[in-house]
Copies of this chain bind each other. A is one copy, B any other.
């Protein structure tokens, strides 16, 4: 048995991932076996960059490792294969590994070992998350854009787009409005959410409509993305043939919330144990301040 002390788990995953999944170094392994880190579901993750292995030895070391893990009754075995070690991919495939997810510089592959237990690896994310901004000025005009490359040409839409990685919905909406129109805004309320399937990359799609208050009025459109952009009277918007009925309905939902003295507010919280920040959207009566 050897003890490998220099395992650089920092290469494997960020502190937050490590904490969340409760990873721990595997301290002692037999010679010629990958070390890896243990997760709270009794799985092992190998990082190709942290445990480099000459190409000609990989097949043999993998076989020996799998035998060891089966003996130890490990469950899912994960290989995070960086581009520099991509020679591992076809060999892992021959050893019954499946793809789980991939991004930029790495692909994550896995094999479920237990033969007496149904495969319990959750699928990776399969939902694209986007935002649309309902920006209404004090002349009762809605900020609308017409996109280049639109699926439906000449349609008037709300400014918006996909959330970036680890970006909050509100930040994404404010950013997209500024990028597309140069209008500065602040958050007022969540209004609606749309859930669709079979969208980009075969993913599902969640689209949140956020009511924002404009802090500037003068539009400068993004030449790259936006064909046209303007302030449109609410009445025109609600009757315009090139405004999709769903986009019209978002305005109605907002007016209904307002009429009932409600909004869907946000609160920032931090989970005390997990040390994770999160945001909660919740309905609130404006007048009596209750939540």
A interface, CB within 8 angstroms of B: 13-14, 16-17, 20-22, 40-41, 83, 86-87, 89-90, 93, 98-108, 122-129, 149, 151-152, 162-166, 168-169, 190-204, 206, 246, 249, 252-253, 256-257, 259-262, 264, 269, 271, 273-274, 276-285, 290-291
| A83 lies within 8 A of B87 (CB) | no
| A200 lies within 8 A of B20 (CB) | yes
Quick one: which of B190, B197, B204, B252 contacts A291, CB cutoff 8 A?
A: B252
Residues on the B chain within 8 Å of A246, using CB: 269, 271, 280
A-B pairs with beta carbons under 8 Å apart, 19 shown = A17-B198, A83-B93, A86-B90, A99-B103, A99-B104, A99-B107, A101-B102, A125-B129, A127-B129, A127-B206, A151-B273, A195-B278, A195-B280, A195-B281, A249-B280, A252-B291, A253-B283, A256-B282, A262-B262
At the interface, is chain A mostly helix, strand, loop or mixed?
A: mixed
Residues on the B chain within 8 Å of A100, using CB: 102-103, 201
A126 in contact with B125 given A166-B197, A256-B290, A291-B253 (CB within 8 Å): yes
Beyond the given A123-B165, A196-B279, please list 4 additional residue pairs across the A-B interface where CB-CB is below 8 A: A86-B93, A253-B283, A256-B290, A260-B283
| B104 lies within 8 A of A20 (CB) | no
Residues on the B chain within 8 Å of A151, using CB: 20, 22, 40, 273-274
